[in-house]
Amino acid sequence: MGCPRLQKCCCFFDLKTGSIILGCIVAIISIGLFTTMLVITIEIGDIEKNIDKHLRILSEIEKAKDTGLRGPYALSIITVFMFLAKSLFDVFFIYGVCRERAGIIKSYLIMWVCFILLSVLIFFCSSSYYNIIIVATEICYLILNVYMVFVGCNFYCQIRRKGVI
């Protein structure tokens, strides 16, 4: 594989323990981001309903109805489902590492590539709606995910060399 070779995680832990620890941290953050995005989606939906109600009252502004919050609302719904799937896959990753199942770890690594591509695309499409705290959180989450994938990928290579499948 094309990732950097690591012998230890965070200079202290072996790859298995580091993968479990990082997997738990990322899973907790993914669940937190899932619930946060769910709340934001509900709030955007309520705002959009109120805009629709006010636009019906003001019929001369009816043409402006399509420029409401439909784009951010759709992106937030997609993001909610992405973080739900990511949270579930994080739990499966932890299970795969604990049981040393190379197939589960490999499927997680493949899913992660798809997730990161979608996540970056959605982030850039909707970045104008976010404040600096959300942007910083997303960048830190991305860096943590990348490091966890490096550790998980090295652990995957390690168990493949041992012959555990």
Instruction: Judge whether 18 and 8 are in contact, CB under 8 Å.
Output: yes
Which has more pLDDT, 20 or 135?
Answer: 20
Structure tokens at 148: 């966890």
Percentage helix, strand, coil for the chain under 3-state DSSP, each rounded to 5: 85, 0, 15
* pLDDT on residue 78: 82
CA 62 distance to own-chain centroid:
37
DSSP letter, residue 10? T
Please state the domain extents for the chain: 15-162
* pLDDT on residue 56: 56
* pLDDT on residue 98: 93
Cα separations in angstroms, 90 against 99, 103, 114, 121, 150: 14, 14, 14, 21, 15
* pLDDT on residue 60: 45
Which has more pLDDT, 30 or 76?
Answer: 30
For the whole model, what pTM was predicted? 0.76
Q: Render pLDDT for 92-128 as a digit per residue (tens, 0 to 9).
A: 999 999 999 999 999 999 998 888 888 888 777 766 6
* pLDDT on residue 1: 47
* pLDDT on residue 107: 92
